[in-house]
A and B are shown apart, each in its own frame.
Chain A
Amino acid sequence: MLEIRDLSASIDGKPILNGIDLVVPTGEVHAIMGPNGSGKSTLSYILAGREGYAVTGGEVRLDGVDLLTLAPEERAAAGLFLAFQYPVELPGVGNANFLRTALNATRRARGESDLDAVQFLKLARAALRDLAMADDMLKRNVNVGFSGGEKKRNEVLQMAILKPKFAILDETDSGLDIDALKIVAGGVNALRGPGFSALVITHYQRLLDHIVPDRVHVLAGGRILRSGGPELARALEESGYAALGLEAVSEDTAAMAAP
C-alpha cells in the first residue's frame, strides 16, 4: 500500500505540490489526471527520489517504509518503479547488461541470488515476446536511437522484468500508436494482482480504456481536487477540466514544474 500524507514540495522556493493526500491500497491501480503544470510529473519524481526538489512537508510510505529518507536505489529495492515520461539514452550501455544489472541489484535487495547470463536471457526473451518486442532490443544501447514508442515499451519491459510492488507510469501512453498502447497496457495488466499496485499518470482517457483504474484522482494546483471511479475520467474526457471547475494553470507554472 502506498500512502501519501499531506505532501508538499517546491522547486527553487516555488511551491509545486500543496498538500497531497493519496492512498493506493495493495492490488489496486489508480489514475492521476490533471492539466499541464498541475504537478503530476513532480509527484512521480519525488516518489522516485530525483534530486532538485525540496519536500517541505508530509510523508510517503510504501508498505510502511518511509520512502522520502531513502536513496533512489533503496526505493527501487523497496519495490518502487517509475516508468519515465522521458526515458534517458545511455550510449555505451547495452540494454541486456543494464537490465541484468538492475535485476540482480533488485534480487540481491530481496535476498535472492544473482541470475547468470543464460538464466537472464531466457527470462528477458520471454518478457520481450509478451511485449511484442524484437530480441535485438537487448543488443542495442539503452534507448539510443529508439523511437518514442520503443522507449516507452522498454520502460514496460524493465517493469515486467523487475516486477515491482508499486509502479508509477508517468504518461507512458504519450507517443504510442494504438497498437503499441494495447501492448503496453497488456504489459501492465499482466502484473495486476494482489501483490501489485500502480499509479497511472495520463492526460487521456484512451489509456484508461485499456488499463481500467480502480480509482481516478484529479490533480490541479498541486492538490488532489477530486477523486472518483473510472467514470470520472470519462467525464473529464467529455467536458474538460474547466467544466469541473478546475482552471488550467498558466504556462508559467507549467514551465516551472519541469526542473
Chain B
Amino acid sequence: MSAAFAETGLPSRKLEAWKYTDLRPLAALAPAPAPEIVDTAALAADLPPLPGPRLVFVNGRRAASLSVPPPADMVADLATEGDPARFAPAPLAALNTQFAQDGAAIHVPAGHDAGTLALVHLTIAEDAAPVFVHPRHRIALAQGATLTLIEYAGGRGVYWQNPVVEIVLAPGATLRHVRIQAEDRESFHTATIFVDLLAGARYDAFTLGLGARLARSETHARLGGAGAIAHLAAVQLLRGTQHGDITSVVAHDAPGCASRQTVKNVVDGHARAVFQGRIEVARAAQKTDGYQMSQALLLSPDAEIDCKPELEIFADDVKCSHGATIGALDPEQLFYLRARGIPEAAARAMLVRAFLAEAIEAVSDDAARTLLVRAIDAWWEGAR
C-alpha cells in the first residue's frame, strides 16, 4: 500500500465517526500485502482450542492443513464486490473490497441447524516489514436456519487485520456470533460487520477485544423485517497504551423490532476505550424497542473512556433508552475480599471478573464461553 493511498484511503478524525479513533499511526506503518506462509502446519500450536468444523486463514489465505471443513453444502462462492450504498459509511470496508483475496462464504440451508463453525485468523509478520490482511466473509442463513459462528483473530508481529463480514439472515433465522480479538499487542485490527435481518430473524453477537495496539469493531445492523432482534454485546479489556473502539449502528427499518447494544469496558494504565452507539429508527419502525448501555471500569487514574450515544428517531411510538456508567473498583468490596485473606491483586481480578460475569454467562455456546474465559485469564496473567 503506497503512502499516497494510505493518506486518502484511511478515514481521518475530521469524520464524525472517527473523531475518537486516530488511524495516523496505521498510515505511518505503510503496511504491504502479507506474504504467504507455506508451512502452515507448523502453526497448529497457535490455534485456539475449538472443537468441530473450523476454517483457518493464515495471512489471509485459507490453510487447508489446519482447517476442519464444514459440510460441503455450507460453503458457497465468495462474492467480494460489496454493496456501495451499504459500504458508504464504512470507508475501511471499501478498502477491504479493493484488497480482499480470500474468505469464507457460508450458506446454511432453510430450517437447518448447522451447529458451530469457527473462523480463525492467524497473521504472522515476524521478522518482516508490517503487513496487511483484508479477509472477506459472507454468512447467509436461509429461512429458519441456525448457526453459531466463532471468530478468532490472533497473530505475531506488526500487522493490520481489516476483516469485513457480511451477514444476511432470512426470516426466522438465528445467528449467534462470538468474536474474539486477541491480536498481537503491536498490531492493528479494524473489523466491519454488516448484518441484515429479515422478519423474525435474530442476531446475537458477543465481541471480546483484548489484543492489538489499536482496535475497532464496527457493526452495522439493519432490522429490515418485522419482529427482528439484534443484540450486540461487547467486552473490551485494555491496558498500557492500547486503544479499543466499539462502534455500532443499528437501523430499525421495520416495525416491532428490538435491539440491545451493551458494552463493558475494563481500562487500565494509559489505555483508552471508545464506545459509539447509534440507533436509527425510521418512520415505519413503530413499536421499536431500542436499548443501549455502556459500562466502564477504570482501573487507573490515566485510563480513559469516551462514550457517544446517538439516537435518531423518526417514528412516534417507540421505546429507546441509553445509559452509561463509569466507575472505579469499589474500595469497600476490595477491603471485604482482602479482609478474608485474598491478596489485593487477586481481589481486584475477582471484582473485574465479577463485572464481566453477566456478559460472559450470556454466551450460550460452551466452547466459546470457555475460550472467552481463557482469553480473559491470559490477559490477567499478562498484566502481572
Chain A contact residues, CB within 8 Å of chain B: 48-51, 71-73, 75-77, 81-82, 84, 87-88, 90-93, 98, 101-102, 105-106, 109, 158, 162
Indicate if the CB atoms of B342 and A48 lie closer than 8 Å.
no
Cα separation A72 to B342 with both chains bound (whole Å): 9
Pick the most buried of A49, A50, A82, A92: most chain B CB atoms within 10 A of its CB. Answer: A92
DSSP class of B's interface residues: helix, strand, loop or mixed? Answer: helix
Nearest CB in chain A: distance from B250 CB, A: 27
Chain A residues whose C-beta falls within 8 Å of the C-beta of B341 in the assembled complex:
73, 76-77, 102, 105-106, 109, 162
| Given the contacts A101-B350, A105-B343, A105-B346, A76 and B338 also touching, CB distance less than 8 Å | yes
Q: Confirm or deny: B333 has a beta carbon within 8 angstroms of a beta carbon on chain A.
A: yes
Q: Per-residue 0/1 for B324-358: is the Cβ within 8 Å of any A Cβ (1 yes, 0 no)?
A: 00000011110111111111101100110111111
Interface centre among B331, B338, B356 (most CB of A within 10 A): B338
- The minimal Cβ–Cβ distance linking B249 to chain A, given in whole angstroms, is 29
Q: Report yes or no: A71 in contact with B338, Cβ–Cβ below 8 A.
A: yes
* Interface contact B354-A102, CB-CB below 8 Å: no
Is B354's CB under 8 angstroms from A72's CB? no
In whole angstroms, how far apart are the Cα atoms of A162 and B340 in the complex? 8
Which residues of B have CB within 8 Å of A72? 335, 338-339
B338-A51 in contact (CB<8A)? no
- The complex places the Cα of A75 from the Cα of B338 at a distance, in Å, of 9
Q: How far is the CB of B380 from chain A (nearest CB, A)?
A: 14
Q: Which residue of chain B has the shortest Cβ distance to A141 in the bound complex?
A: B354
Query: What are 7 A-B contacts with C-beta separation under 8 Å?
Result: A49-B338, A73-B342, A73-B343, A77-B341, A84-B336, A84-B339, A90-B354
Closest to A80 in B: B339
CA distance A199 to B357 in the complex (A): 37
Which of chain A's residues have a CB closer than 8 A to the CB of B336?
84, 87-88, 90
* B332 adjacent to A105 (CB under 8 Å): no
Q: What is the bound-complex CA distance between A75 and B339, given in angstroms?
A: 8
Q: A102-B341, A106-B341, A162-B341 are in contact. Are A92 and B335 (CB under 8 A)?
A: no
Q: Is the CB of B350 within 8 A of A105?
A: no
Are A102 and B342 touching (Cβ within 8 A)?
A: yes
Q: Is B346 within 8 A of A101, CB to CB?
A: yes
- Chain B residues in 8 Å Cβ range of A90: 333, 336-337, 351, 354
Most A Cβ at <10 Å: residue of B338, B341, B353? B341
Residues from chain A with a CB closer than 8 A to the CB of B332 are 88
Asked whether, in the complex, the Cβ of B340 is within 8 Å of the Cβ of A102, the reply is yes
Given contacts A105-B343, A106-B340, 20 further A-B contacts (CB under 8 A): A49-B339, A50-B335, A50-B339, A51-B335, A71-B338, A73-B338, A73-B340, A73-B347, A81-B339, A87-B336, A88-B336, A90-B333, A92-B353, A92-B354, A92-B358, A93-B351, A93-B353, A93-B357, A101-B346, A102-B342
Q: What residues of chain B lie closer than 8 Å to A88, measured between beta carbons?
A: 330, 332-333, 336
Is there an interface contact between A82 and B339, defined as CB atoms closer than 8 Å? Answer: yes
Assembled-state Cα–Cα distance A158/B341 (Å)? 11
What residue in chain B is nearest A92 (Cβ atoms)? B354
Chain A residues, Cβ within 8 Å of B356: 92
| B343 contact set on A, CB distance < 8 A | 73, 105
Q: Determine whether the beta carbon of B339 is less than 8 Å from that of A48.
A: yes
A101 to B346, CA, bound (A): 9
Q: Least Cβ distance of A234 to chain B in Å?
A: 32
Q: Mark B347-381, 1 if CB is under 8 A from A, else 0.
A: 10011011111100000000000000000000000
Residue of A nearest to B353 (CB): A92
Given contacts A73-B344, A101-B350, contact A92 B338 (CB under 8 A): no
Which B residue's beta carbon lies closest to that of A82? B339
A150 CB, min distance to chain B CBs, angstroms: 16
Q: Which residues of A contact B331 (CB under 8 A)?
A: 51
Collect the chain B residues with CB atoms within 8 Å of residue A102's CB. Answer: 337, 340-342
Residue numbers in B under 8 Å from A93 (CB-CB)? 350-351, 353-354, 357
- Min CB distance B329 to A, Å, is 11
What are the nearest 6 A-B pairs in CB distance? A92-B354, A76-B341, A92-B357, A102-B340, A72-B338, A105-B341
What distance in Å separates the Cβ of B335 from its nearest Cβ neighbour in chain A?
A: 5
Q: How far is the CB of A214 from chain B (nearest CB, A)?
A: 25
Q: Which chain A residues lie closer than 8 Å to B335 at the CB level?
A: 48-51, 72
Roughly how many angstroms separate A82 CA and B339 CA in the complex, as a whole number? Answer: 7
* Whole-angstrom distance between the Cβ of A156 and the nearest chain B Cβ: 13
Q: Quick one: closest A residue to B336, CB to CB? A: A88
Q: Which residue of chain A is the closest to B355 with respect to CB atoms?
A: A92
Which residue from chain B places its CB closest to the CB of A97 in the assembled complex? B350
Q: Are B358 and A71 in contact (CB under 8 A)?
A: no
Task: Find chain B residues with CB under 8 A from A77 CB.
Answer: 341
Task: Give Cα distance in the complex from A105 to B351, angstroms.
Answer: 16
Minimum distance in angstroms from B5 CB to a CB of chain A: 46
Smallest CB gap from A84: residue in B: B336
Q: Chain B residues with Cβ under 8 A from A76's Cβ?
A: 338-341
> Closest approach, in angstroms, between the C-beta of A84 and any C-beta of chain B?
7
Residues of chain B with a CB closer than 8 A to A98's CB: 337, 340, 350
Distance A100 CA – B142 CA, assembled complex (angstroms): 47
Q: How far does the alpha carbon of A90 sit from the alpha carbon of B355 in the complex, in Å?
A: 10
**Do A101 and B342 touch (CB < 8 A)?**
yes
A101 to B350 Cα, complex, angstroms: 10
Provide the residues of chain B in CB contact with A105, threshold 8 Å.
Answer: 340-343, 346
| Cα–Cα distance between A77 and B346 once the two chains are bound (Å) | 15
